[in-house]
Amino acid sequence: MNALTDAPGAAGTERTGSGARAGTAPLSRSGWPQARRVARLAVHGPLPEVEVPLAEALGSTLASPLAALTDLPAFDTSAMDGWAVAGPGPWRTSGRILAGDPAGRREAPDTSDAADRSGERHPGTLADGEAVEIATGARVPAGATGVLRREHGRVDRGLLHPLYDLAPGQDVRPRGQECRRDEPLLPAGTPVTPAVLGLAAACGHDRLAVHRRPTVELLLLGDELLDSGIPADGRVRDALGPLLPPWLTAAGAEVTGVRRVGDDFGLLRDAVRFSAADVVVTTGGTAAGPVDFLHEALAAVGARLLVDGVAVRPGHPMLLAELPGGRHLVGLPGNPLAAVAGTVTLALPLLHALLGRAPDTPRSAVTARDFPGHPADTRLLPVVRTDRGVVPLAFDGPAMLRGLALAEALVVVPPGGVPAGARVELLAAP
């Protein structure tokens, strides 16, 4: 069916009289923005705080602000290979300071007159007219007024001559330039990215206080699914088993299990009932087909539907339920692009709430051409960016992934569509 014309009309209850709905209170389908909001507000708060080593923190969210444990840089640091110099040139050079050398250490003995005279001075202190060879990243000695790059100086008979003027403090990264000890660097709610891990290590952290990552069990429904090989004889390859776990993991979830569940009511009910995951994600079985048992299984385990159908194309049969014990279930439609729409609409906002992640700043772009809309539903379409704005990709049907695989983002097209030049919201593509 054409995603533009198979709408039942304005938002209303779509599935009526299906045996698969017995026992669950009928819900009107939600508008798309409302469904996202419901998913974000479905939990009372983020999961508890835990302290984990840096190597285990990727993808989780800071539970408290990240504060520096040291000044950064922790000492005046040379930004270049060359010489640390004191006062105006030329300079007498002696010794060498490498990255990692402790304070005051200079490889060659300091025999300069100034050092000999300086009873009170630190042994590594440079006096006016002195220079010491220095490596990038090495501690700049006390008394130095700048660093002369190797290519900016010439040594002639033990004297270093500048080829260019040297500004005071040139090529020295002063202690505390980036931050001071105890200074808050990142607020609670920041996602832990590789860059955050690097920053945390740079300023002295071995462990991070984060919210526990939500566990996710993925249940792939459908007897027709094949795990390997070429699809034939009415069977189809499972596209969501490969697609969803890495995406959910990248979003911060800990995917604890991926299981195929046959088209059997009892099997599905028990898989949902006994899952220990914070979030059960199912694929398929959301609609009204003869073996679509999801609603019936949810009723049997005492689930409460929070979202039951969304005014969005593709993906309108998606659902969100609260399970006993404070767990949740996201029901993604079986059509793969519809499942992707369900993931961005329900699964990611729910996971972000459990992770304690601060709301993303919405991303937007301008449309390079008209994006026809559905009369009543939001559309989510794979797009690429061009100089003129975003353009839709072909092969964007609910059962297709060909467009999505080339997509840089999904564009949110409000009901009724938008003309060329309109600003539209973008969602990250998997």
What are the residues binding ligand LQZAQKY5 (CB under 6 A)? Answer: 220-222, 224-225, 236, 238-240, 283-289, 292, 314, 316-317, 333-336, 338, 398
Among 124, 214, 389, 398, binds ligand MOO (CB under 6 A): 398
Q: Which stretch binds ligand MOO (CB under 6 A): 38-46, 71-79, 127-135, 332-340?
A: 332-340
CB of 404 to ligand LQZAQKY5, least distance (A): 13
* Residue 255 binds to ligand MOO (criterion: CB under 6 A): no
Burial category of 201 from C-beta neighbours within 10 Å (exposed 0-12, middle 13-18, buried 19 and up): exposed
Q: Return the residues of window 309-328 that contact ligand MOO according to CB under 6 A.
A: 313-316
148 binds, among ligand MOO, ligand LQZAQKY5, none (CB under 5 to 8 A by kind): none
CB of 368 to ligand LQZAQKY5, least distance (A): 28
Measured distance CA(15)–CA(5) in Å, rounded:
17
- Binding track, positions 274-313, relative to ligand MOO; x by CB under 6 A: ---------------------------------------x
Phi and psi of 68, rounded to 5°?
A: -70, 135
The amino acid at residue 393 is L
CB hemisphere CA count around 338 (13 angstroms)? 26
Separation in Å, CA 37 to CA 154, 188, 237, 332, 345:
66, 21, 33, 17, 9
**Rg of the chain in Å (alpha carbons):** 31
Measured distance CA(408)–CA(118) in Å, rounded:
64
224 binds, among ligand LQZAQKY5, ligand MOO, none (CB under 5 to 8 A by kind): ligand LQZAQKY5
Residues facing residue 161 across a β-bridge: 154
267 binds, among ligand LQZAQKY5, ligand MOO, none (CB under 5 to 8 A by kind): none
Measured distance CA(278)–CA(354) in Å, rounded:
9
Residues that bind ligand MOO (CB under 6 A): 3, 313-316, 333, 335, 338, 398
